[in-house]
Amino acid sequence: MRIAPQLCVVLTVAASLGQTPPKDVDGWGKIKWGMGLPEVRAAYGRQAKASTLVDDSTSDYAEKLTVEKITVGQTSAIASIQARRGSDKITQVALHFLQTEATTGNATIRSDLYKELKVLLPSKYGPAMEEDVLDTKTMRWTFPSTSIELRWFEPDIINIGSVTVRYTAVDKKAKDAL
């Protein structure tokens, strides 16, 4: 028996009603912030693959491993497991939702995915801060150990949008300095 995607979202939300949001989130999936690469490989086994990304960005984070075919709701994603530059201690995981011929260039599919995640994530983490700035819609959750960001980028000019969920370890040194 196949259940319609809309019904899955309704059932997920109904099951989570009355569920209290976590007080803290200290990682993502089987990953706890600060784990080293060997620990992550052990936790995910053959699913964890060495990154093939050519790292030429100016980001503070570098992709170390990937885990493919992560299922979120009705959609597949690739988990990009990242560490700060010069470190092998995991401090960020970004979920990039798979692009296929059917979804590339299809803003409606990305819109539907964002709407689904906009229901699923608050059912797990509680209410979020929301903002819309130009071509980007963003929802954020902040916990003592982790910030979570759902972002949908959809430029008006060209049809190359994206939907990403990013889990990032909170920099406790910076937080304590405030």
Closest CA to 148 of 105, 117, 172: 117
Closest CA to 170 of 79, 92, 64, 82: 92
Distance (Å, whole) CA 99 – CA 52? 17
* pTM value > 0.75: yes
Ranges under pLDDT 50 in the chain: 1-16, 177-178
From residue 76, alpha-carbon distances to 39, 66, 94, 116 in Å are: 24, 13, 13, 13
Q: pLDDT tens for residues 134-149?
A: 878 999 999 999 999 9
Q: pLDDT tens for residues 59-87?
A: 889 899 999 888 888 888 999 999 998 89
pLDDT at 171: 80
